[in-house]
Structure 1
Amino acid sequence: MRNKIILILAPVIVLFLIIKGLSFSPELVSFSGPTMGTTYTVKFYTVDNDVRVQSLKDDVDNVLLRINKLMSTYDPSSDLSLFNKMPSGSKQEISSEFAHVVDKALLISVMSDGYYDVTVGPLANLWGFGPAKGRDEPPTDIEIDRAKQKVGYKNLSLSGNVLSKVNDIYVDLSSIAKGYGVDAIANELDKNGIESYLIEVGGEIRTKGKKENGEPWKIAIESPAGGHNVAQLIIDVNNLAIATSGDYRNYFEKNGVRYSHIINPKTGRPITHKLVSVTIIDKTAVMADGMATAITVLGPEKGLEFAEKHGIAAYLMIKKDFGYEERVSSAFEPYLKNSIE
């Protein structure tokens, strides 16, 4: 009887050993969804089944919901909205995530001497680019001056996890929160042992590892003339983040004048220079996102000087009478070597 049992089990054991010894090629899978008034997409390689993919999507959705609940100006009950409603002289203890993003926004505000200002919210709202209903005509000079009195990053301070205001200011993290969302998703994928991925939230991107064939992830920088359907440049980005800021999507027109959603805190008005697109490569998406906005506000000359001064990898597109002119910082030039135009 014992011999018969061995004969019956032996084929099963052999089959198990064969299956265990097989090496399955990782499969590229993806999932996406809505977030922060836009969409996100995650692509990664895995040998696991669909159950893990769905579980990972649930984790990513929860991460993005948490960030939105912390930093959205469109949610009146978010931590940021509650802080903005507080009177002058108020203090609020905030989460470490919230503090991290505010810290980076304040850093960029200081570095740019206020051309990027984390408290630009009153002006953005006045021009119709905030949570309130949009407008189809510019505000008056009196309205602009009144809003400017509520703008000033020096009236905001962060000590540890305590956020304070010394004036009636309104913090707006929309220029940096998407970038942080990308970084937060990356942290979630890292925790789950994903070694190769591409994350995109509203155009802000971060990659890790390489594709299954050993090639790097290739990122297209879109042309201002062609939008999503035309690539101005295609570059290799490994283990880095890339963010683009442009004035050619979100705007309104009145009497033949186009008013961009990117506001210069110094003037209280939308930018009027010819710099239409800025792409930044950095280690984190939160810094790439904020720096792209800062350089867009600074304009082509000051923006490129700022990038060179701080060693920022920046790619600028400037509108000319006919077509566009490209300008790149020294730190961006190495990415042009393997680019495809």
Structure 2
Amino acid sequence: MPKISSDTTAAHKRTTLHGPTMGTRWSASVDADNSMDLAALRQALAAAVEQVDEQMSPWKQDSDLMRLNRAPVDAWVDLPVEILEVLDCALDVQRLSAGAFDPCMGALVDAWGFGAVRDAPDADAIRTARQLPPRTGHGGLELDRPAGRARKRLPLQLDLCGIAKGYAVDRMANVLQLHGARHALAALDGELRAVGSQASGSPWAVALERPEAGRRGVHGVIELEDLAVATSGDYRRYLEVGGARLAHTMDPRRCAPVNNAVASVTVLARTCMHADAWATALLVTGPDEGLAMAQRMGMDVLFLLRRAEGLVNVGLGRFGRSGGATPQERPVSG
């Protein structure tokens, strides 16, 4: 979701800070005044996203997430406050989405070739992962946030890839505010969060990608002010198996990659952590159940659906035709 805003004022200079993280890059566009120490800000932003990666990466064997994954069932594991906050949010979205968002899908993610273990599906590993005990609500994982610890109640493998990047963007927004930034836009992949407006007073404008594999096109423009946005889709990370394209997002109900008519889901929320998790949950639930769920919860969400006649929009809230809560399919031109 590229940024397209460019408004500045005489008292502010637009600066873009960026760096590598989580196999991609983070960036922050800042309308900075002369008092801001941009070198210190960049260092703090890099440290914030690196801490999230060090705590929550399934690719780093010494991460706090992997320590928890390796721990025996019923053994308490001391954890940093940050990962406990993310786990708490993940379990809450799991409950509210009736299991569509599930942070306990690590074994299936690896089995299907989307994790750190292998780069192609393994039939034996898939069968083994499907035989793991079922999880309901918070039953598989217990958090003790006052004591700073968690324990697994079942033999499960956690994966926070559907929420950690959104949380990293929130951490970036917090760093920006602590360093005095009042006009900034933090970004990591398709997750973004605006700190205030642009210095000119205009909202931050970001491009919503058209869901097409192998190319980057603009589907529309979203305006953000003190707001976060996240998009999940089937068109960026996938595997080709037997002529079929398998999206990287797991459907916990089917124990298999998502396979429905949804090309992408974009969600607006106050925090990027929530936007990220809900975009994943609604991608999994699909166009019917997902729209009904989003409507019940009063969410601002845009579904792009693949229909026989082509791509269609279905928006709720701010994405609705008149900002309303009644979904209506609209063909996408071009």
Task: Give TM-score scaled by structure 1 length.
Answer: 0.86
Amino acid of the structure 2 residue aligned with 1:34: P
Q: Distance in 2 between matches of 1:166 and 1:56?
A: 41
Give the drift of 1:167. 1.3
Mapped contact 2:238–2:248 kept (Cα < 8 A): yes
Q: 1:228, 1:175 → 2: CA distance?
A: 23
- Inter-partner Cα distance in structure 2 for 1:79 and 1:335: 45
Q: Distance in 2 between matches of 1:254 and 1:320?
A: 22
Native 8 Å contact 2:197 2:224 kept in 1: no
Which residue, out of 92, 115, 118, partners 2:103?
118
Cα distance change, pair 35–336 in 1 and its aligned pair in 2 (3 A): farther
Q: Deviations over 1:109-138 (max 9, x none)?
A: 101111111101110010011112301xx4
Rounded Cα–Cα distance in structure 2 between residues aligned with 1:98 and 1:43: 26
Hey, what does 1:127 align to over in structure 2? 112
Aligned to 1:80: 65
Q: CA 1:178 to 1:239, structure 2 compared with 1: closer, same or farther past 3 Å? A: same
- Residue aligning to 1:31: 17
Aligned AA (1:247) = D
Give the distance between the partners of 2:248 and 2:233, measured in 1 at CA.
9
Q: Which amino acid aligns with 1:114?
A: G
> Would you say the 8 A contact 2:71–2:77 is kept in 1?
no
Q: Distance in 2 between matches of 1:28 and 1:228?
A: 28
Following superposition, the deviation at residue 252 of structure 1 comes to: 1.0
Q: Is the 8 A contact 1:183 1:206 kept in 2?
A: yes
Listed as ranges, the matches of 1:1-341 within 5 Å are: 25-48=11-34, 52-135=37-120, 138-140=121-123, 143-148=125-130, 149=132, 152=135, 154-160=139-145, 161-225=148-212, 229-330=216-317, 332-333=319-320
Where structure 1 has 5 or more consecutive residues not aligned to the other structure, the ranges are 1-22
Give the distance between the partners of 1:267 and 1:226, measured in 2 at CA.
Answer: 24
Shift of 1:227: 6.7
Give the residue type in structure 1 aligned to 2:186.
I
4+ residue runs over 3 A deviation = 226-229, 334-337
Residues 89 and 164, structure 1, Cα contact 8 Å, conserved in 2? yes
The alpha-carbon deviation at position 48 of structure 1 amounts to: 2.4
Q: After TM superposition, give the deviation of residue 243 of structure 1 in Å.
A: 0.2
The letter for the 2-side match of 1:207 is A
The letter of the residue matching 1:255 is G
**For the residues of structure 1 that align with 2:237 and 2:204, how far apart are their CA atoms?**
28
Residues 183 and 228 (structure 1), Cα distance of their counterparts in 2 relative to 1, 3 Å cut:
farther
Give SS of 1:154's match. Answer: coil
CA distance in 2, matches of 1:150, 1:239: 41
**Which letter does structure 2 place at the counterpart of 1:28?**
R
Deviation string 1:34-92 (CA, Å, 9 cap, x unpaired) is 1111111100111227x821111111111111111111111100111111011111111
Deviations 1:176-211 (A, max 9, x none): 000000000110111111100011011100002222
The Cα offsets for residues 88-115 of structure 1, whole Å up to 9 and x where unpaired, read as: 1111121111111001100011011111
The separation in 1 between residues aligned to 2:106 and 2:134, in whole angstroms, is: 8
Partner of 2:216: helix, strand, or coil? strand
Question: What amino acid is aligned across from residue 210 of structure 1 in structure 2?
Answer: S
Q: Distance in 2 between matches of 1:155 and 1:37?
A: 29
Cα deviations by residue, 1:227-281 (Å, 9 ceiling, x for unpaired): 7632111121110000000011111112211111111111111111110100000
Change (3 A) 1:226 1:322: farther
Distance in 2, Cα, partners of 1:150 & 1:177? 25
**TM-score w.r.t. structure 2 length?**
0.88
Q: What is the alpha-carbon distance in structure 2 between the residues aligned to residue 164 and residue 214 of structure 1?
A: 47
- Flag the 1:42–1:93 CA change in 2: closer, same or farther, 3 A: same
In structure 1, C-alpha distance between the alignment counterparts of 2:185 and 2:37, rounded to whole Å: 17
Query: How far did 1:333 drift?
Result: 2.8
Q: Distance in 2 between matches of 1:323 and 1:37?
A: 32
Larger Rg over CA atoms: 1
Aligned to 2:139, what secondary structure does the other structure show?
helix
**Structure 1 pair 267–303 and aligned structure 2 pair: CA distance change class (3 A):** same
